Structure 1
Amino acid sequence: LKMLAESYYIPKNETGDDATFFSQSAQVIGVADGVGGWSTEGIDAGEYARQLMRNAYAAAVKEYRHRPIFQVDPKEVLRHAFLNTAEMGSSTACIISFAAAPVGKMILRAANVGDSGFMVIRGGGTVYRSPVQQHSFNFPYQLEYSSEKHSHRQAAELAVEVESGDVVVAGTDGLFDNLFAGDIERIVGDYCMDSMFSLSETLARAAHGRSRETTTVSPFQVAANEAGIRYVGGKLDDITVVVAYVVPDTSSSYGGGDGDVMDVDC
């Protein structure tokens, strides 16, 4: 098996605070969401996230070249990225690697800090959703320049078994704060035979549309209300979506581009 992925990004403003990558050779996905509060100090809130993901990509490729296939350690990738990011700022981050497990099984391994994350959809339903790490409502764990308190060591290490045909949807909180799991499942079910890029765009635009609504219930509203905060509607935010298909490892899965990937159980 292999993982093939595409992404779509809708920034909240001209610069945007999110960043993402996918290394096909290393079979690693990364998403990060720069903390917007830094903009009040004249700092580009997204530059930390972008540098973090550039460093994570470099670390993933280096790990791939020095380890057996399907053995990239996402927490090591995150550690390297964090220690080599010198930009002022802070960010949530989720690194996901496609890895071999005993008895011929394949798993997703992940290192997650904060409220970016991923879900695995199989047969139209969610079989796994990564947990959110937060101190309190809307205050997620984060990686921060010159910070020990919120360092890479607080990353949650996750693992979930995957099968051919699974759909992996990863994203920043702009996706998961605006679309419920059922919304994502429905869109994946309706559009999973499209290309991964097209499906990621459809999900991102659905989240963006919800983010601008002031009457429709959103996951962010539900969480706010549960925390005792009066809030109605969606949450305006940067929205990053990565869609990955788990497919048989054949030359045809790679050679024709993402439009040729049809072995998806949704």
Structure 2
Amino acid sequence: MDSLLNVKGQSELFGCSKNTGEVMNHSYLPKHVASLQTSFFKRSLRYSSSRANARRHLISEGRNTEPKDSPLPKLPQRSPWYLDTAYSIFAKRPTRPFPPPFVSYPSGSFSDPLTTHNRPRLRQAEVDGQLLRGITNGDDAIIIDGQNFLAVNDGVGAWAQKERGHAALWSRLIAHYWAAEAEKAFRNPEKAESDGRTPSLDELDTVKYLENAFSRTKDVTNFGKENEIMGTTTASSALLHHKSPDEPVVLATSLGDCAIMVIRPRNESMIYKSKEDWHWFDCPRQLGTNSPDTPTKNSFMDRVDVEEGDIVLCLSDGVTDNLWEEEITEWIGHAMKKWKANEKEAEDGIVYVARTIMNAAREIALDPYAGSPYMSRAVDEGLAAEGGKLDDISVVLGMVKRHKT
């Protein structure tokens, strides 16, 4: 998401549009675009290797988002189920440094700007110098917190045009506090079941956790009217829990147009996709400065019954604007087959699955001639658009697994 809203009577109320200018090319297209929904096998590489190499330093991946030396206490495992996790991310431009009073540690690598802002520290006394969880990816923020919580938030990059605007900070702070609120629920001994192991499914309220995270973010970014740090962000998370020891459940929570999906590889089917919600085309619901949206009023939480082997994904719109749902499902199946066949390129397992989705979305995003879901929606709105949608691409996923007893 890139440009501020610029509509008469609504101008600059809050950061909004994802900017049709980010589409790689513009031209007249007919209304009928069904033929664009081709299988991923028919997608061809049209971007040059030099262009791909030029952006390679904006790619990062791994199995979790916490540094090895993180001082965060580890949450005891209270569930028979967990997520085998991975992420793969691509930033369309390097992340800007966080503004004062937030501080960023120096990067461990001059060639990897994404690492520069993985470990900013809040310096306000009220948060006791707590390290921010997760990773910043352009204006996105991603989190893998423990073995049961995934999140992707997509900040509205147009806030960079404002003197005190910083959407990446907003997306990161809300992700940080959201994960902390979820963890707090599992640490509360007053909400334990009779077996003393874990809170019940009915006691978990991820919308409330998001509301608390939103409130906390507003507090720490407000230094008075002249010094407020402004921004807005969409939000999505997946929390794995269970109804009974044999019945795992995912609590999928979203506000805006980030996507939560559950793919069942054994029959290559998508069993769940979260609802996307916009004010109007290219203007999703979002949390932050001047936005009328709130988690309580505008977010969705669904309970999704899952089984061992299912893949749970949190995706920024950099993925869903460039890949149709059917393609995401096919790419997951394609990657899983290579992994199970022990092919060399898939030797890093679940990370390879995440990388496959990211690369597929990045290929289309950089292709000025490809058909894409964003292009299809733009044409339906009467806009001339062609090619992929260049944006930050964030893929966070986990495979549902059962702890061995």
Q: Same fold (TM over 0.5)?
A: yes
Aligned pair 1:81/2:235, yes or no? Answer: no
Q: TM-score, normalised by structure 2?
A: 0.59
Q: 2:394 aligns with which of 221, 240, 253?
A: 240
Q: Give the distance between the partners of 1:59 and 1:146, measured in 2 at CA.
A: 24
Q: Which runs of 5+ in 1 are unaligned?
A: 252-266
What is the SS of the residue equivalent to 2:253? strand
Aligned pair 1:176/2:320, yes or no? Answer: yes
Structure 1 consecutive aligned stretches of length 4 or more whose deviation exceeds 4 Å: none
User: Which residue number corresponds to residue 271 of structure 2?
Assistant: 127
1:93-138 CA-partner distances (Å, limit 9, x unpaired): 0121112226942221122100001111112111111110111111
Amino acid at match of 1:54: H
Alignment of 1:45-84 (within 5 A): 45-66=167-188, 67-68=191-192, 69=198, 71=201, 72-84=204-216
User: Which residue number corresponds to residue 143 of structure 1?
Assistant: 287
**Cα drift, residue 163 of structure 1:** 0.8
**Cα drift, residue 60 of structure 1:** 1.7
Which deviates more from structure 2 when the two are superposed, residues 90-99 or residues 61-70? 61-70
Q: Give the distance between the partners of 1:146 and 1:236, measured in 2 at CA.
A: 26
1:32-89 CA-partner distances (Å, limit 9, x unpaired): 0001111111322211101111111211211121144364432122112111003321
- Cα root mean square deviation, aligned: 1.8
Amino acid at match of 2:90: I
User: Which residue number corresponds to residue 9 of structure 1?
Assistant: 89
Alignment of 1:1-266 (within 5 A): 1-15=81-95, 16-25=138-147, 27-42=148-163, 43-66=165-188, 67-68=191-192, 69=198, 71=201, 72-86=204-218, 87=221, 88-101=230-243, 104-122=246-264, 123-145=267-289, 147=291, 149-153=292-296, 154-192=298-336, 193=339, 194=346, 195-250=349-404
Q: Give the distance between the partners of 1:41 and 1:188, measured in 2 at CA.
A: 39
Q: Which runs of 5+ in 2 are unaligned?
A: 1-80, 96-137, 193-197, 222-229, 340-345
From the CA coordinates, give the structure whose radius of gyration is larger: 2
Kindly tell me the number of residue pairs found equivalent between the two proteins.
249
What is the SS of the residue equivalent to 2:217? coil
Q: Give the distance between the partners of 1:128 and 1:235, measured in 2 at CA.
A: 24
Q: TM-score, normalised by structure 1?
A: 0.88
More strand by share: 1
Amino acid at match of 1:108: V
Amino acid at match of 1:37: A
Q: Give the distance between the partners of 1:101 and 1:231, measured in 2 at CA.
A: 46
Determine what percentage of the aligned residue pairs are the same residue: 29
Contact 1:7 1:243 in 2 (8 A): yes
Contact 2:237 2:314 in 1 (8 A): no
